[in-house]
Amino acid sequence: MSFIVTGAAGFIGANIVKGLNKRGITDILAVDNLTKSDKFTNLADNVIADYLDKRTFIDLVKKGAIETPEAIFHEGACSDTMELDGHYMMENNYRYTLELFNWCQEQKIPFIYASSAATYGASDVFVEDVAYEKPLNVYGYSKYLFDQVLRREMKDGLTAPVAGLRYFNVYGPMEQHKGRMASVAFHQYFQFKKDGKVKLFEGCLGYGNGEQKRDFVYIDDVVDVNMFCLDKEITGIYNCGTGHAQPFNDVALTVVNSLRAQKGEPALSLDEAVRQDFIEYIPFPQALVGKYQAFTQADLTHLREAGYTKPFKTVQEGTSLYMEELSKRFP
């Protein structure tokens, strides 16, 4: 039983490889671009059968020279929401996904791919419906455009299952290579280690300091949803979040209290953490004006109707686990 995982050295891709390994599956073709090689460590932490550069892989797909796998998890993409090169974004995200989708339909291969909550943009309704999809940047548009392809093709009938997962704010182990696009929790771990405090944006778009809300979803839950899509062979576009928005203050406070607990220090309330300068609010960056989602919350109706019944970790649960993991890896 063989599988292909694209973006396999990346954050979500590497965790999917790990999830397959936990099932005893090691016959995995890992596809990625290691021009920036620092993320190779994610592959080294897992077991794979072979590795191909993304460009070599897509050339071999076009030539019909890739052995048909059991399924493809397509996580390979540029996930930098601040990337302004539209040509690169559309080629890397939209066109690459379209090529693989067409091949999977020809060969009848189940295809599970990464979409994004960025497709919703500034909408305050997060239901998988084009009426609520208004991307704010070219990254969101690249994901939105392929979702429209899937919707059209579903009407005509598919030869194999295709599931698009709209990831909300995913965080957890193996994201260290992402730089500025790594999660708030990741950055705050190192801020606290260095300065003894964490930083959050001041209030914006009608929200108070640190009160902007996102649907933060722990990576283990994301992997579990991917495995559910594989096992149940479901087709469609599905939100992948917790269904509950929590403020950035919850992340910051959990980081502070988790790391204080490791030193035997008592938990603080938010007011106490701010007053004692463990949480600092910084000006909202001009570069994000008009491009920032101040609120996201996945509507899970569609996913639940498909049969996924498991609960998702809260920010407090997931961030506490993450701080333990980071403390082991980057003491």
Residue among 162, 18, 27, 40 at smallest CA distance from 101: 162
Distance CA 214, CA 225 (A): 19
Give the number of other Cβ atoms within 10 Å of residue 38's Cβ.
12
Task: Point out the catalytic residue in the list 51, 88, 134, 178.
Answer: 178
What torsion do the CA atoms of 153, 158, 163, 164 make, to the nearest 10 degrees? -10
Greatest Cα pair distance in the chain: 63
Distance CA 319, CA 303 (A): 24
Residue among 134, 166, 137, 113 at smallest CA distance from 298: 166
Distance CA 76, CA 96 (A): 9
State yes or no: is 232 an active-site residue: no
Residue among 299, 217, 210, 208 at smallest CA distance from 247: 210
Distance CA 210, CA 253 (A): 10
Distance CA 51, CA 31 (A): 6
Task: Point out the catalytic residue in the list 96, 113, 120, 139.
Answer: 139
Distance CA 24, CA 20 (A): 7
State yes or no: is 139 an active-site residue: yes
Which residues does the annotation mark as catalytic? Answer: 139, 178
